[in-house]
Amino acid sequence: MFKQGLALSSDVKNLELSVFNLETVLNNQMLGQNQLHRLLKVFIGLSPDKNIKTEPYTVENKLNPQIVETDTSSYLKRTGYQTLQQTGNLIKAERKIISAGFLPNLTLIGSFGYSGFNPDYKFMQTYNDKWYPTNLVQVTLSVPIFDGLKKTRQLSQNKIKSVQSNNTLEYLKNTYRMEQLNAIDNYNNNMKSLDFQNQNLAQANNLYNQKLLEYKSGLASLNDLISVDNTLKAAQANYINAIISAELAALDLKKANGLLINK
């Protein structure tokens, strides 16, 4: 077209620049894809040299519509809350053990049997064929009177630990609820952004197709077509970024709901 006088030298340079930029973007995308594949292999316990096949990503049916509210008791599924609950149960069990130390302790020991004597090692045989009964009954009553206030101090320390554990549980409950509400807002906002970018991409495609027809008909210049093409590339990039943000927001929401790891 340049040799035929249908395009200016600046148009040729713009096309060459666009091709160079596209090649640069493509090379960066391929490099990033290869690095992410290696990272995925390491995460699933495979060697980076292992060959694996991944399915192409499709947006359809991947993301749910906007969420208004979720289960308010989801904090009970969070690992941190469950671990602290177990700690609280251990503190209660420790308190029962300490309190039991104030109670009297009654011990009964009984032993009943027979014994015999024999200068020779002969099992079940005595020298005079006689067996003598040996019986023992022992009852021990232990009444705690004073232990230097040891158990009292232990109970006080246990009470402090119990209060601290309950306060931490309440703090975790409120923190996890806050994370859940923030995750809902973030997810809904990203879903709106994804829908907007989807519409924006559709408009950019229509505009490009229209401008391409105008260019073929001689109603638009090459610079106009290149400008619209750049707009389309920007819309595609924004749409991809919106998908990534929406997927990350979905993961954060699963984490906030205690559903990130299904047993």
Mean pLDDT lowest for which of 43-52, 152-161, 226-235?
43-52
**Radius of gyration of the CA atoms of the chain, in A:** 39
pLDDT of residue 5: 46
For the full predicted model, state whether its pTM sits above 0.85.
no
Taking phi over 0 as left and psi of -120 to 50 as alpha, with beta for the rest, 130 belongs to beta
Q: Distance (Å, rounded) from C-alpha 207 to C-alpha 212?
A: 8
Task: Give the CATH architecture of domain 59-103+146-263.
Answer: Up-down Bundle (1.20)
CA atoms within 13 A on the CB side of 124: 0
CB 162 within 8 A of CB 95: yes
Q: Distance (Å, rounded) from C-alpha 158 to C-alpha 150?
A: 12
What are the residue boundaries of the structural domains of the chain, listed by start?
1-54, 59-103+146-263, 104-143
In DSSP terms, 113 is beta-bridged to 134
> Crossing angle for the helix pair 150-216 and 79-100, nearest 10 degrees?
170
pLDDT of residue 2: 44
Residue 163 has pLDDT above 70, yes or no: yes
pLDDT of residue 70: 66
CA angle 240, 242, 245 (to 5 degrees): 115
Residue 197's H or E segment, with its range, is helix 150-216
CA 48, 54, 59, 60 torsion-angle sign: negative
pLDDT band at 24 (very low <50, low <70, confident <90, very high): confident
pLDDT in tens, 98-147: 888 888 888 889 888 877 677 676 666 666 777 778 888 888 888 888 87
CA angle 127, 129, 132 (to 5 degrees): 100
CB 40 within 8 A of CB 34: no
